[in-house]
Structure 1
Amino acid sequence: MNDDKKFVVSGVKYPTDSEALKAVNEINGIKYVKDRTDMSNPKLVLNVYNKMLDKNLFTTINGYKYLLETRENLLASDEIDDKDVRPIEAPTFGGSSFAERKKSESPFKSKFINSVIINVLLIITIVVMIVITTNSNNLNILNYKDRLAAMYEEKENELAIWNSKLYEMESSINAVLDENEETTTEEATDESETTVAE
């Protein structure tokens, strides 16, 4: 079968196989209505026409073509008042009406809006976390260099103070030892002089 004629039904080419199948079913329905209805009785035809409109039986071009023909025949009839013949709702070819397309777009739009809101909330959360960590007293990846430098400087100051205290203590011990040595040396010299004098 040629691709150009693949979805053609009664001279109308449909974009998909499912729409072509719908058209075939509608044509079969039209044949059924024509076979079962006395088309010479305009009141009966009007009743069937109204039922078809109420049930939204036809959605393809072939179905709308039949509805238009039936409406024109009813309007041409002298037995039926023109205001009793209801208008046909405009067809939505291509499978979806504007409302359906808008409806199908809205979930994506709402998902996009939800995604943007979630991303903004996450960014705010991250900023708050960074502010908290930079201002906290705990050691973390953002302030470890400063904290380590401050800690080493504090230890250096403590060691310098300790070193100066040790130096003072050592000096005082050395002074006491020197004093003791001098005293011991003087006593030893006095003793040796006394021993020599005797």
Structure 2
Amino acid sequence: MGESQNQVNGFIFNTNEDFNRAKEELGVIEHFKAKVDLSNPNDVLKLYNRFIEKNTFCTPVGYLFLKELQENILKSGIMKPEEIQKINYVSQNSGTKTETKEVDSLALNKYKEMAQNLKIKLRNSRIINVFFLVIVIAMIIIAIYSDKTVFINFENEVIDRYAGWEEELKLKEKNLEEREAELNKE
């Protein structure tokens, strides 16, 4: 049996994503093994609780390390098996697929709703545009076929009225000038 390239700590990973995650977890484990005194049960308990609370590990490499820490705590006798926090295993494949499906479903529903709103707005815009187009066409038709003689007649009446007033004013002005000339003679 040959060596696999996607192997970490005795586990073979099918995807590069899982393989990379396992390598990161192995690096974290090695870091804490170097920094923390694993022979001190209190330090081991603190480290174990911290990893459990933060859900630090999600690959078999990390869970195996958590199980080792748990066994060390139980062997030291500082906690009873019923008192220690349990390791919560979350399947990465099924959880990720379910979450992805839920996210995709939510996004799809959101975009369907947005598309529906845009269709409604487009329909309303078309209705308003058609309404305005009808009004403009009606105004053009009215302008072309309307009886312009009414306006022309009204305009002629106004012009005649002002022309009549102008003649009256000239006549009155002439009469005033004549009277003034008679008064100046006297």
The total of aligned residue pairs comes to 143
CA distance in 1, matches of 2:77, 2:7: 37
CA distance in 1, matches of 2:100, 2:51: 22
Specify whether residues 70 and 105 from structure 1 end up closer, same or farther in structure 2 by C-alpha distance, changes over 3 A only.
farther
Deviation at 1:122, TM superposition (A): 0.7
CA distance in 2, matches of 1:111, 1:70: 47
Deviation at 1:138, TM superposition (A): 1.2
CA distance in 1, matches of 2:80, 2:111: 51
The answer to whether the 8 A contact 2:22-2:59 is kept is yes
Q: Does 1:110 align with 2:110?
A: yes
CA distance in 2, matches of 1:53, 1:100: 24
Deviation at 1:24, TM superposition (A): 1.3
- AA matched with 1:123: R
Q: TM-score, with normalisation over the residues of structure 1?
A: 0.52
1:62-92 deviations in Å (ceiling 9; x for gaps) = 1123223433443455331335422233334
Q: Does 1:34 align with 2:57?
A: no
Partner of 1:50: 49
CA distance in 1, matches of 2:101, 2:66: 25
Q: After the TM superposition, which parts of structure 1 deviate over 6 Å for at least 4 consecutive aligned residues?
A: none
Deviation at 1:52, TM superposition (A): 2.0
**RMSD of equivalent CA atoms:** 4.0
1:21-77 deviations in Å (ceiling 9; x for gaps) = 221121132233334444343332111101222344323231123223433443455
Partner of 1:82: 81
CA distance in 1, matches of 2:113, 2:67: 44
Q: TM-score, with normalisation over the residues of structure 2?
A: 0.55
Partner of 1:138: 137
- AA matched with 1:13: F
CA distance in 2, matches of 1:133, 1:108: 37
CA distance in 2, matches of 1:56, 1:32: 17
Q: Does 1:121 align with 2:121?
A: yes
- AA matched with 2:47: V
Structure 1 stretches lacking a partner, 5+ long: 141-146, 152-198
CA distance in 1, matches of 2:75, 2:83: 13
Partner of 1:13: 13
The answer to whether the 8 A contact 2:7-2:13 is kept is yes
Partner of 1:59: 58
CA distance in 1, matches of 2:46, 2:136: 85
CA distance in 2, matches of 1:97, 1:137: 57
1:133-158 deviations in Å (ceiling 9; x for gaps) = 45x36169xxxxxx7xxx7xxxxxxx
Specify whether residues 72 and 109 from structure 1 end up closer, same or farther in structure 2 by C-alpha distance, changes over 3 A only.
farther
